[in-house]
Structure 1
Amino acid sequence: MDLPVFRYHPDPIASGSIVASEVQCVCCDQRRGFIYMGPSYCEAELEEALCPWCIADGSAHEKFDASFVDEALFPDDVPSEVVEEIAFRTPGFAGWQQEQWMACCGDAAAFIEPAGHAEIRARHPQLEGTLMMHIVQDRGISGSAATRFLTSLNRDHGPTAYVFCCCHCDAKLAYIDCL
């Protein structure tokens, strides 16, 4: 069975937000072979309990009043219908602190993956300068300490870079999060 298509999270398996699993979905009561691993914001306990289809069609949002990304995290220029699509019908991702959803060209960007320095070097080398600028300007780290911070980025253990791609101009965007 093919996974649903998520415009703003095009490969949720590669990002780790959806994994192969025989767990039964608490929304549709089916075992579809995949389960959502990201955050769910609602009163019900939905950790590792929803299939991607119930997220995509909005039934998980309707049944549990669940959102998968905090709606307050979006820049003001992102249209409300896009915010709703991502918050209510798109798999989110887990960050170390409060997740951010990047935007470009007046639209939300597509989440690609959490990345460490190895993934940045291999798949997104154009982001090294952007991330270094973030480390120096936003974190106030400079010189060799900034280089050490950049090379310490780790997909699984933090600090971690979160990579996005603009849906219009294909620009790569990223931010860094850590404990």
Structure 2
Amino acid sequence: MSPELPVFRYHPDPIATGSIRASAETCACCERATGWIYTATFYTAHEVSGPFCPWCIADGSAAARFDGEFVDAYGLDGVSEAILHEVTRRTPGFHAWQDPHWLVHCDDAAAFIGEVGYGDLAAHPEALDQLRQDLRIGGQHDPARLDEFLTHLGEGASAMLFRCTICGTHLAYVDAS
């Protein structure tokens, strides 16, 4: 039996999001088979011979050894250097159609909850309202077309849902193929 997974403040359930899965594979950093392996993005110019275990992500050893990042810094404007480092180098990234990015609220990185469709997003009206506002700014001005698009999230496009670690507000952005 594997030891308990490390806790990731900014990605509280990486198993549910598919970023970490059970596996007998060996970690490219510590060279141990821990029973769990990371499945999402890692950005580096170095050759990496395989995936990483959650412990090498959590303690920063994988990012340090291969001079890489699990998450791009895009979207993390205004957070402290320590938070930027924790999210990019010590937090599992996630799968997305387009380049994934992290959202910020209350001067802190938000926690990634997962990819959701309209039904799950509707349970968080503040995230839905924020998404409507962002899409209007992005050029979608027809409210009927905007609502039609949003109600079909989960069908070719989805929302990436986050929760503020300070106030609990939910946020989202659209990801599409």
Which TM-score band applies after superposition, normalised by the shorter structure? Answer: 0.7 to 0.9
| Letter paired with 1:130 | Q
Correspondence 1:106 to 2:107: yes
Deviation at 1:48, TM superposition (A): 6.4
Task: Give the conservation status (yes or no) of the 8 Å contact 2:37–2:53.
Answer: yes
Counterpart AA for 2:116: A
SS in 2 for 1:175: strand
Unaligned runs of 5+ in 2: none
Displacement of 1:145: 2.2
1:27-63 CA-partner distances (Å, limit 9, x unpaired): 1111111111110001345596111111011110122
Which residue is 2:12 aligned to?
A: 10
Kindly state the Cα deviation for residue 161 of structure 1 after the two structures are TM-superposed.
0.7
What is the TM-score normalised by the length of structure 2? 0.88
Conserved 8 A contact 2:126-2:169: no
SS where residue 114 of structure 2 aligns? strand
- Show the counterpart of 2:83: 82
Query: 1:93 — aligned with what?
Result: 94
Distance 1:176 1:51, change over 3 A: same
Aligned to 2:29: 27
Q: Which residue of 1 aligns with 2:140?
A: 140
Sequence identity of aligned pairs in percent?
Answer: 42
Mapped partners of 2:42, 2:11: distance in 1: 16
Alignment partner of 2:167 out of 134, 146, 169: 169
Shift of 1:137: 3.1
- Which amino acid letter does the alignment assign opposite residue 95 of structure 1? A
Q: Secondary structure at the match of 1:148?
A: helix
Measured against aligned partners, the alpha-carbon deviations of 1:113-163 in whole angstroms (never above 9, x if no partner) come to 111123224x53543333233333324152432222112212xx6412111
Where does structure 1 lack aligned partners over 5 or more consecutive residues? none
- RMSD (Å), alpha carbons: 2.0
SS of the residue corresponding to residue 24 of structure 1 reads coil
Q: Residue 64 of structure 2 is aligned with which of 59, 62, 65?
A: 62
CA distance, structure 2, for counterparts of residue 108 and residue 47 of structure 1: 30
Is the Cα contact below 8 Å between 2:74 and 2:101 reproduced in 1?
no
Structure 2 distance, partners of 1:130, 1:138, is: 12
Contact 1:38 1:47 in 2 (8 A): no
Please give the TM-score of this superposition, normalised by the length of structure 1: 0.87
Q: How many residue pairs were aligned?
A: 175
Contact 1:21 1:35 in 2 (8 A): yes
